[in-house]
């Protein structure tokens, strides 16, 4: 009965080491939780380092002078590492795009929603196929617009997907007209 | 590694070492005294050939890194520097580039052999799955290695393959940006691919050790698929398997040398000698030949996400194979119906590879227009690849599960030695 004698000396009722399993379990769980939390928080920097770095993110916007592009011409710029098409569309191209507004499409969108109001001739697109990122070429395919050489996606004169495996229309980036002849992209 | 060791150290040094690190014993038990089935044919020599390929790729790769510059501005020029200026640089680079193709030739034969002789069936499931893991790592390594010269095919191949992950719903775009380290494939992408291309072969070597370990636990399969039962069924690894493997390796090296010295660019694409240009995609983009069947499956499906899932599913079937095949008989030598379907399967894989190299809308039979079915003319490579892809999946998901329950196999020999000894040529002259 030494155990009883020992506790009787102290004024508290605290038992011997190991006699209270819940207290010891708490220490184990707390230690493991702290180690797991520390480990998990260390994983994030090692994952996030692969995301775009600050200098890559800084290359956000460019300005472009539209007087360089005559009607029926297209200029390809490099923006955020990707090709950017700036196309000065002909009347026929615009008419053909507007005529097809009601056609059945994978990603339905009106031609007017893809250009700025009153600037229907200027079509600005990210020149990256929405299938697997190849650069489509103008003048191929059955719809008078772009054709992707990789897997055969066909876009119309508004850059809308009409045929092939791509799921979405060619993306229109965020851009604004600074003046009648100058745009800022991004 | 199976059974007890028969190694007896002969010298004092060997005895001393054996008591401290029995590494000579391990080598002796694994590669000298190890019992191998006596009936192994030449299809069984590709394991050894694959070790040779891995060693060759590691050595040539480590040397190339001494001269290569992993940078979007300098990578292409540094590869040309290796080709033109570095002493024997052309040889080492051609060995490395063609070595990758040789590696895949050997691994495909090795896999078809495993498929035909049922080497994935119990108790070899883990052995087979480890092999599938090695194959996946090989594909990742080869893909990233092809990006490093930073030519047109390198660049746009990387764009297409990384965009595959963009097909995943919700997380797709975030994953591709994360893989790229930017908004497009660029310098950051090249550098991480270089780092991983250096790492993965050592991971392959690690899984190869597990693969061989698992092999030595369950023992080798053999053309009859019957487990060795007595000493009459086996022969020691040395000299029988070592000499046979050595001869096969020599023949394989002749093929390798023909490519390195006479056809060094036959398996590559000439567009990869044009420096990468993000603004222009080559008019006809194709992956390396060893990816073509999967590329054809990707393009066979008109929907982006489903195409990606089908492509990965084609590889996932291999992992599930041990549980898809319900047949009790291991070797297709005794499965007459399965043998026929296996033949069709090999043909389907070759057709898929062929389709992967063609434009989807091109006609299979020239100058013939039939009628448009769904989205393309019936006489087109996209429809041929659809038929072949359908058979590919049917083989794993329908034929093997059902056939194993339905077919009547031929009688399987009691032991490996018995059919050999029962062969008229081996039997003692019969009397009366």
Task: Give pLDDT, residue A5.
Answer: 45
User: Is A80 in contact with B184 (Cβ distance < 8 A)?
Assistant: yes
Mean of all residue pLDDT scores within chain B = 92
Task: Give pLDDT, residue B431.
Answer: 45
Question: B-chain residues within 8 Å CB-CB of A56?
Answer: 181-183, 186, 188
Minimal Cα–Cα distance from A135 to chain B, Å?
Answer: 5
Which residues, other chains included, contact B58 with Cβ-Cβ below 8 Å and sequence gap of 6+?
Answer: B201, B202, B205
Best residue in A82, A139, A150 for a mutation probing chain B (most B CBs within 10 Å): A150
pLDDT digits (tens, 9 = 90+) for B91-135: 999 999 999 999 999 999 999 999 999 999 999 999 999 999 999
Question: A-chain residues within 8 Å CB-CB of B359?
Answer: 152
Nearest to B274 by CA among B153, B182, B173: B153
ipTM score over 0.85, yes or no: no
Task: Determine the Cα angle at B188 with ends B186 and B194, to 5°.
Answer: 105
User: Is A51 in contact with B301 (Cβ distance < 8 A)?
Assistant: no
CA atoms within 13 Å, Cβ hemisphere of A25: 4
When pLDDT is cut at 50, 70 and 90, the band that residue B432 belongs to is very low
Mean of all residue pLDDT scores within chain A = 85
* Distance separating alpha carbons of residues A26 and B81, to the nearest angstrom: 63
Minimal Cα–Cα distance from B245 to chain A, Å?
Answer: 42
User: Is A134 in contact with B179 (Cβ distance < 8 A)?
Assistant: no
When pLDDT is cut at 50, 70 and 90, the band that residue B211 belongs to is very high
Task: Give pLDDT, residue B283.
Answer: 80
A135–chain B Cβ distance below 8 A for any pair: yes
What strand order describes the sheet that includes A161-163? A137-138, A144-147, A154-156, A161-163
In this predicted structure, the answer to whether residue B267 has a pLDDT above a threshold of 80 is yes
Nearest to B176 by CA among A127, A131, A166, A174: A131
B280–chain A Cβ distance below 8 A for any pair: yes
Evaluate whether B287 touches B157 at the Cβ level (below 8 Å): yes
> Which residues of B, range 225-244, sit inside 8 Å of A by Cβ?
none
Question: B-chain residues within 8 Å CB-CB of A154?
Answer: none
In this predicted structure, the answer to whether residue B422 has a pLDDT above a threshold of 80 is no
B110–chain A Cβ distance below 8 A for any pair: no
B285–chain A Cβ distance below 8 A for any pair: yes
**Of B162, B279, B285, which has the smallest distance from its Cβ to A83's Cβ?**
B279
pLDDT digits (tens, 9 = 90+) for B48-97: 999 999 999 999 999 999 999 999 999 999 999 999 999 999 999 999 99
Best residue in A133, A149, A169 for a mutation probing chain B (most B CBs within 10 Å): A133
The pTM of this model reads 0.87
CB atoms inside a 10 Å sphere around CB B94? 19
When pLDDT is cut at 50, 70 and 90, the band that residue B420 belongs to is low
Minimal Cα–Cα distance from B165 to chain A, Å?
Answer: 9
When pLDDT is cut at 50, 70 and 90, the band that residue B3 belongs to is low
Could you tell me which residues are beta bridge partners of residue A84? A77, A126
Q: Which residues of A are catalytic, by number?
A: 151
Query: Which range has the worst mean pLDDT, A69-73, A117-121, A163-167?
Result: A163-167
């Amino acid at each position: 009965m030494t155990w009883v004698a020992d506790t009787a000396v102290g004024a508290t009722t605290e038992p011997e080491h190991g006699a209270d399993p819940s207290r010891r379990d708490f220490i184990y769980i707390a230690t493991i939780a702290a180690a797991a939390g520390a480990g998990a928080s260390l994983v994030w920097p090692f994952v996030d380092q692969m995301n775009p770095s600050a200098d890559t993110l800084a290359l956000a916007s460019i300005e472009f002078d539209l007087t360089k592009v005559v009607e029926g011409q297209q200029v390809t710029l490099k923006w955020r590492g990707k090709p950017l098409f700036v196309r000065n569309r002909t009347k026929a191209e615009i008419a053909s795009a507007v005529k097809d507004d009601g056609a059945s499409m994978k990603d339905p969108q009106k031609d007017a929603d893809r250009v700025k109001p009153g600037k229907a001739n200027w079509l600005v697109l990210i020149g990256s196929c929405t299938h697997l990122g190849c650069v489509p070429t103008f003048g191929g395919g059955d719809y008078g617009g772009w054709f992707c050489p990789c897997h055969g996606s066909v876009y119309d004169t508004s850059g809308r997907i009409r045929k092939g495996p791509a799921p979405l229309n060619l993306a229109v980036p965020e851009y604004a007209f600074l003046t009648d002849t100058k745009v800022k992209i991004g | 590694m199976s059974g007890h060791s028969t190694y007896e150290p002969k010298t004092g040094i060997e005895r001393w070492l054996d008591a401290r690190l029995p590494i000579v014993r391990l080598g002796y038990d694994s590669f000298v005294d190890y019992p191998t089935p006596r009936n192994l044919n030449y299809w069984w020599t590709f394991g050894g050939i694959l070790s040779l390929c891995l060693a060759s790729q590691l050595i040539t790769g480590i040397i190339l890194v001494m001269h290569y510059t992993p940078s979007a501005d300098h990578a292409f020029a540094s590869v040309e520097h290796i080709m033109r200026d570095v002493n024997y640089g052309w040889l080492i680079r051609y060995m490395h580039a063609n070595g990758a193709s040789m590696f895949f030739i050997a691994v495909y034969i090795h896999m078809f052999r495993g498929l035909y002789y049922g080497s994935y069936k119990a108790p070899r499931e883990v052995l087979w799955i480890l092999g599938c893991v090695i194959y996946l790592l090989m594909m990742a390594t080869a893909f990233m290695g092809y990006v490093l010269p930073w030519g047109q095919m390198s660049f746009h191949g990387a764009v297409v393959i990384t965009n595959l992950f963009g097909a995943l719903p919700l997380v797709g775009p975030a994953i591709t940006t994360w893989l790229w380290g930017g908004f497009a494939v660029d310098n950051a992408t090249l550098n991480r691919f270089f780092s991983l291309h250096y790492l993965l072969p050592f991971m392959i070597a690690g899984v190869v050790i597990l693969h061989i370990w698992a092999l030595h636990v369950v023992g080798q399969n053999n053309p009859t698929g019957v487990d060795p039962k007595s000493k009459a069924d086996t022969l020691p690894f040395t000299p029988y398997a070592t000499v046979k493997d050595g001869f096969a390796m020599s023949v394989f090296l002749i093929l390798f040398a023909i490519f390195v010295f006479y056809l060094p660019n036959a398996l590559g694409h000439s567009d990869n000698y044009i420096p990468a240009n993000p603004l222009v995609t080559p008019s006809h983009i194709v992956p390396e030949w060893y990816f073509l069947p999967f590329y054809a499956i990707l393009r066979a499906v008109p929907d982006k996400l489903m195409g990606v899932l089908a492509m990965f599913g084609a590889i996932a079937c291999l992992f599930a194979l041990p549980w898809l095949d319900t047949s009790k008989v291991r070797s297709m030598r005794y499965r007459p119906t399965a043998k026929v379907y296996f033949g069709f399967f090999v043909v389907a894989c070759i057709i898929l590879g062929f389709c992967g190299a063609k434009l989807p809308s091109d006609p299979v039979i020239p100058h013939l227009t039939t009628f448009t079915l769904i989205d393309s003319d019936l006489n087109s490579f996209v429809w041929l690849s659809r038929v072949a892809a359908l058979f590919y999946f049917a083989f794993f998901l329908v034929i093997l599960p059902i056939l194993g329950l339905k077919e009547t196999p031929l009688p399987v020999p009691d032991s490996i030695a018995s059919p050999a000894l029962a062969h008229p040529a081996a039997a003692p002259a019969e009397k009366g």
